[in-house]
Structure 1
Amino acid sequence: MRSDFQHVLAQREAGVLTITMNRPAVLNAFNDLMVQELIEIVEVAARDEEIRCVVLTGAGRAFGSGQDLSLFAQERTAESSQVAQEHLHAYHRLVVGLQQLPQPVIAAIHGVATGISLNIALACDLRIAADDARLSEAFARIGLVPDGGGAYFLTRLLGSAKALELALLAEEINGVEAERIGLVNKCVPLSELEETVATLARRLANGPTRTYGLIKQLFHASQDKDLAVVLQLEGEFQSKAINTADHREGVQAFMQKRPPKYIGK
């Protein structure tokens, strides 16, 4: 993985890849280059078996303030709709890439996480928020619908009524409230965020990575299926899991009453 990105930092340590959106002067607002750099990193990580957990966060005072609105301040032309579709396609590629990563993905959220930045966090598997986090589906404030999969993630995490409330009113909620309604998995004091996320990332990086990937695939595939189909999928994925080296190690460790040493295969 190259290291000369302009708006993103990528750091690897002990099987954990930390991706930091790095435009702190504008609270990590998205521009086209930052989206493309994130896509590249995510797609490279998906093929790297040495990476066993991914953390996504933002530099400076915020996770991310959404789209850089200077793009939308330009005068509309006949080509504006086409440009908008191409713009959204990049976000869609990033969201799908995060969802399909075989490794667990943690979003570490502090400060502002609004608009597309919030929805990128919702595409991650787990979300840990600091108590200073301010989360908002801000699209309605500028006359837009939630993009980046917002309607998909919000309704599945919160149910349709609460999801519509957040989208229609576009009000901020803090980290504590986000944990209460299930938008994030946990809220911790800002001073504890880095270590909380690092501890969780290390735990996942030392776990059965291949199995984690199968769990993600099974859960994503099951969201719009009936029970009979899900049970069939369960059997298919379990057949794959039972043949992994980590399953064999887990059973042996249990029988020998020792901690397992997973290799992620």
Structure 2
Amino acid sequence: MTCTVTDEVATLTMTTPSLTGAARIALREAVERVAQDDAVRAVLLTGTGGVFSAGRDLREHTAAVRAEGRDAFDTTADHYGTVVAALATMPKPVVAAVNGTCAGAGLGLALSCDVRLAAAGARFTTAFTGSGLTPDTGLSASLVKVVGAARASELVLLAEPFTADDALGWGLVGRVLPAEELLPAAAALARRLAGGPARAYAIAKHAMRQAWAASLAQVLAAEGRDPAAQGEADDHRAAVEAFLAKQPPRFTGR
């Protein structure tokens, strides 16, 4: 995780493909720090190389489930929920530059940003049900708000990948750009927002959050409760073991 501040824009770069425990803590600390930094008036979140974020690190997670059972899911609220809440509620515009693979919790992170741009070759997926899980990082609410209930249900239940052009057509991102143009364009947009009416932005973000039928806090709390029970499910354990063995999962409904 790196954080640089230039021209009142904090650029947060996720430097690991997956969200390991260390990466989640580093991201949470960086987001909370820039949210409170008066020298920062806009935030840019991006990844490295061909990956924005592939979501939860399943190797680390599988080891934790084997050792801790349902306690392995404590990080859902402690890490993911805290980061999403900070991104979504900070009184500053947040731009996501989706430079590549955006899956699972990575998609939830992108959806918690105010404006999203994507590289032409970026690939997206909700991923969760493929591992016998339900969404976290606020995705169960934010995805519905962005693409509508019917599309969100299809994306979550089937967990099939989709392209940057699909994301653009569904309103999940606002622009798709050639990979080499993505970061310069996102940085320019973040600088423009940093020079804008900060108080108006803060009030507008709050007003739009209030328009949600369920509050973000309620959604994050519900998501934090559910995965612990899923951690005891045979389907989830079998799915992550199959992932590590590079085999398709076989679900039994238990």
State the match for 1:50 in structure 2: 39
State the Cα deviation string for residues 85-110 of structure 1 (Å, max 9, x = none). Answer: 33443110111011111110001002
Q: Do structure 1's residue 71 and structure 2's residue 64 form an aligned pair?
A: no
Aligned residue in 2 for 1:18: 11
Larger mean CA deviation between 59-68 and 122-131 belongs to: 59-68
1:196 partner letter: A
Q: Distance in 1 between matches of 2:64 and 2:205?
A: 42
User: For structure 1, which runs of at least 5 residues remain unmatched after alignment?
Assistant: 1-7, 226-265
> Greater helix share, 1 or 2?
2
State the Cα distance separating 1:82 from its structure 2 match.
2.2
Matches within 5 A, 1:137-152: 137-152=126-141
Quick one: distance in 2 between partners of 1:164 and 1:42?
A: 29
Measure the CA separation in 2 of the matches of 1:54 and 1:12: 9
Helix, strand or coil: the match of 2:60?
A: coil
Structure 2 stretches lacking a partner, 5+ long:
215-254
Provide Cα deviations, 1:74-129, integer angstroms capped at 9, x if missing partner: 27468421221334431101110111111100010021100111111111111100
Q: Deviations over 1:209-250 (max 9, x none)?
A: 12111110111012229xxxxxxxxxxxxxxxxxxxxxxxxx
The answer as to whether partners of 2:61 and 2:72 remain within 8 angstroms in 1 is: no
Task: Report matched runs for 1:191-206 at 5 Å.
Answer: 191-206=180-195
Hey, what's the Cα distance between the residues in 2 that align with 1:86 and 1:61? 26
Question: Given residue 104 of structure 2, which amino acid in structure 1 is its aligned partner?
Answer: G
Correspondence for 1:172? 161
Percentage of matched positions with identical amino acids = 36
Residue from 150, 161, 164 that aligns with 2:150: 161
Cα distance in 1, alignment partners of residues 149 and 136 from structure 2: 16
- Aligned residue type for 1:16: V
Q: Which amino acid aligns with 2:40?
A: I
Distance 2:76 2:205 in 1: 27
Determine which structure has more spread, i.e. the larger CA radius of gyration: 1
Q: How many residues align?
A: 214
Are 1:124 and 2:113 an aligned pair?
yes
Query: What's the CA shift for 1:14?
Result: 0.4
8 Å contact kept, 1:42–1:101: no
Relative contact order: is structure 1 or structure 2 higher (C-alpha 8 Å, sep ≥ 6)? 2
Could you tell me how far apart the structure 2 residues matched to 1:88 and 1:29 are? 18
